Structures are given as structure tokens and as C-alpha cells.
Amino acid sequence: MEPETWNLEPDEDLWAGRAFEPHRLFERAAPLEIEIGSGKAGFLVAAARANPAHDFLGLERALSYYRICRERVARSGLANVRVLRADGRLFLESLPAGLVRAFHVYFPDPWPKKKQTKRRLLDAVALEAISARLEREGTLRIATDHPSYGRSIQLSLGSVESLERLDWEALPPPPPTNYELKYAAQGRPIWRFLLRRR
């Protein structure tokens, strides 16, 4: 057992096998946006503050980052943002079809070594699962600085007929993540995808 998993708080267990009911978590019915891999919650808190009529849920698997997210969400004092410790791919299975207004996946772990690529979140299967959970005309935004991952995502999207590719600027841009600010300052090219459910 890893030292960081000792003495877990009740909310720090990985989400597993439970149906997700947003109205219970947020205590209201509102359009739901989900960020898979919230890191340090920069996007999550900024987006929730800018869109009080929407509910925002962050998913973070890594315990250390989950704790940072939880603290920053609590400090924000916003009623429309929550964070869960969850594996994004497994959490998708707990969501009913057509539930989510928007998904956000920014700078997911690229697993750059050839033998690791099977661990990447965004393949054709995951993209189909995300699409199925979107409302009609719901959106998916993806950003990565990793060229190999960007090309892989582009290729996978070609087989997901339910998602229509739009120009990134077709909708108001999302608040930047910590990684986006860092990589932009370094001058790294960023692959961006905006998809809409047909």
C-alpha cells in the first residue's frame, strides 16, 4: 500500500460502481459540465464562477491532486462546483445517456512511451462513451500539447460519427488551465478539439 493511501478520508476512496445522481450532489437540477482530470482545479473553479446557472463536476484520480482540487473548490465558496476522486473511464459507466451538457478534457496524461499508449484515456471507445452521455448538441472540448496524442485523438474521432468537429473559436473559449498557461508561455503548440453531439 502506498503511504499516501494510509488514513484516507471518506471522500478519498475511488468512486466505484455507484450510479451518479447529480441532483443529489448539487441539490438542484441544472445543466451539468464535467471535467475529466481536474489537476489543480484552475479551469473548474473559474468556469463555475463564470457560469452560475451550470453545475460543474471535476474528476481527479490522483490522490494528491484530488486533495488540492477539494481544497480549492472548498475555498471558492461556490455552490455549483464539486470534485470527486474517480477514474474518468470508469466514472463514464455510471452516467446515464444524454445527461451531460459538456465534457472537458484538458492535457490528459499522454503516456508517451509506446508500451504505455494503451493507458491513454481518449481512444475511440472512450470518445463513443463520452458522446453517448452528452445531451443532443452537447459539447466536448479537448486540449493536449503532445503531438502523438493529438494525432491519435484526431484519428479516433474519425470513427465517432455522432460527434461533429467545430472550430475551437465557434463557441466562447473556456478559462485556461494551469497547464495551458504554462505551455503557452513556453511556446508549445497545442492541439485543440471542439466537438458537438449531432
Is residue 6 very low, low, confident or very high in pLDDT (cuts 50, 70, 90)? low
Q: Which candidate, 64, 80, 83, 86, places its Cα nearest to that of 14? A: 86
Options 11, 109, 123, 167, the catalytic residue: 109
Burial of residue 43, with CB atoms counted within 10 A of its CB: 0-12 exposed, 13-18 middle, 19 or more buried: buried
**pLDDT at residue 4 in the model:** 53
Mean pLDDT of 10-30: 89
Catalytic residue flag (residue 55): no
Largest Cα span, the chain: 47
Per the CB < 8 A criterion, the answer to whether 122 and 108 are in contact is yes
User: CATH number of 29-197: 3.40.640.10, 3.90.1300.10, 3.40.1030.10, 3.40.50.150?
Assistant: 3.40.50.150
Q: How confident is the model at residue 117 (pLDDT cuts 50, 70, 90)?
A: confident
Report whether pLDDT(178) > 80. yes
Close Cβ partners of 180 (under 8 Å, ≥ 6 residues apart): 106, 107, 143, 190
Name the burial class of residue 55, with classes exposed (0-12), middle (13-18) and buried (19+) by CB atoms within 10 angstroms of its CB: buried
Pairwise pLDDT comparison (48 vs 89), residue with the higher score? 48
Helices 124-133 and 147-157 sit at what angle, rounded to 10 degrees?
A: 60
What is the pLDDT, as a whole number, of residue 165? 97
| pLDDT tens figures, 51-87 | 999 999 999 999 999 999 999 999 999 999 999 999 9
- Rounded to 5 degrees, what are φ and ψ at 122? -95, 95
What's the mean pLDDT in 169-179?
92
For the chain, the domains span 29-197
Encode pLDDT of 83-100 as tens digits. 999 999 999 989 999 999
Please give the model's pTM, rounded to 2 decimal places.
Answer: 0.93
**What is the distance between the alpha carbons of residues 12 and 140, in angstroms, rounded to a whole number?**
27
**DSSP class of 167:** -
Instruction: Show the cell assigned to 130.
Output: 463520452
